[in-house]
Amino acid sequence: MSTAPAVLPRTPGPAVRRPTAAGLRRRRALHWIAVHSVAIALAIMFLAPLVFIALTALMTDQQALTSRLWPHSWNWGNFAEVFARSPLLQWIGNTMLYAGLGTAFMLLSSVPVAYALARFRFPGRRAAFLAVITMMMLPPQVVAVPVYLIWARAELTGTLWPLILPMLLGDAFSIFLLRQFLLTIPREYTEAARVDGCSDLATLLRIVLPMARPAIAAVALFQFFYCWNDYYGPLLYASTNVDNWTLSIGLASFKALHSVQWNLTMAATLLVMAPVIIVFFLAQRVFIEGVTLTGVKG
């Protein structure tokens, strides 16, 4: 690791008009060291929380109550303890159901809508797109009361279905993102397919889908993670029924149920984080490219 101080003294005096080659090289080197030192310090700050979570997760009950930061003994059993003390597997199952079905339904419904918005020319196309933007920007709490009443009338409150079923009718953010990507596919491809006698559906399935794979992967991952991390939705609909708790709901109450056991709480926290981190490292490129897609240019 670099031991250079984060901020290095600059070359004193006013800027020289014609710096010598050696002086320039020296300044470049100092700049290099300064920038990289700051980056390393920042990276340590970003990673420190994760390291402390892991260390605490391995401590004994007693030690987690002290201010010591390094575990005396490595208690790998804490993870088993978390599984024994809470229905973690059930929470994982419920979360998988929500995230898995939610993502599948979202793709099924949103891809065709995005395709139509990007390719078809029809009156009201602009209005339809504005509706997508409006939905995307709408805080979910705004319509929460009437939507809750719909599901209450259908006797589905207390389950995760009020969160999964609407995905069959499209998700605004995914539609928006997919549309932005589909616009970048040259019209010539779809026109050529149509000239060859392909139907709309065949064009979508055979021509557009293979080309849009990165965008589809990105929205699928975003949706999956959104569901996996969602707290507000499950709190609203499923928190009244312990059998339908998700990881978010379970983890939120974990600390209270095992009041002072920070070690077990951190072990549970780590178990919730782990799949996300693993998936991220497997599909890093998809994420970064997907996020870049969302930063729209004017």
Partner 1 sequence: MRPTPAAPPARRRREGLRALLWLSPWLIGFAVFFVYPLAATVYFSFHRYDLFTLEFVGLDNYRYLLTDDRALTSIGNTLWLVVFMVPAQLLFALGVAWLVTRLKAGAGFFRTVFYLPSLIPTVAGTVAFVFLLNPATGPMNQFLELFGIAGPDWFGDKDWAKPSLTLLGMWGTGNTMVIFLAALLDVPKHLYEAAALDGAGAWRRFRSVTLPTISPVLLFSAVTGVIYALQYFTQAMIAARVASGSTDSPGSSFTPGYPEMSTLTLPQWLFQMGFRDFSMGYACVLALLLFAASMLLTLVLLRRFRGLEEVS
Residues 146-175 that bind partner 1 (CB under 8 A): 146-150, 152, 166, 168-170, 175
Measured distance CA(296)–CA(184) in Å, rounded: 13
CB of 24 to partner 1, least distance (A): 13
Q: Are 4 and 37 in contact (CB under 8 A)?
A: yes
Q: Is 211 exposed, middle or buried (0-12, 13-18, 19+ CB in 10 A)?
A: middle
Footprint of partner 1 on 52-71 (CB under 8 A):
52-53, 56, 64-67, 69
Closer to partner 1 by Cβ: residue 71 or 112:
112
CB of 84 to partner 1, least distance (A): 20
Find the distance separating the first CA and the last CA of the chain, reported in whole Å: 42
Of 72-80, 85-93, 116-124, 209-217, the window that binds partner 1 (rule: CB under 8 A) is 116-124
Closer to partner 1 by Cβ: residue 89 or 128:
128
Measured distance CA(257)–CA(268) in Å, rounded: 12
Name which position in 129, 156, 194, 217 contacts partner 1 (CB under 8 A): 129
Interaction of residue 278 with partner 1, rule CB under 8 A: no
If we measure between CA atoms, which residue out of 181, 180, 191, 163 comes closest to residue 249? 163
Provide CB contacts within 8 A for 165, sequence distance 6+.
105, 156
Per-residue contact string for residues 172-191; x = within reach of partner 1 by CB under 8 A: ---x-------xx--x----
CB of 173 to partner 1, least distance (A): 11
- CA 263, 269, 271, 276 torsion: positive or negative? negative
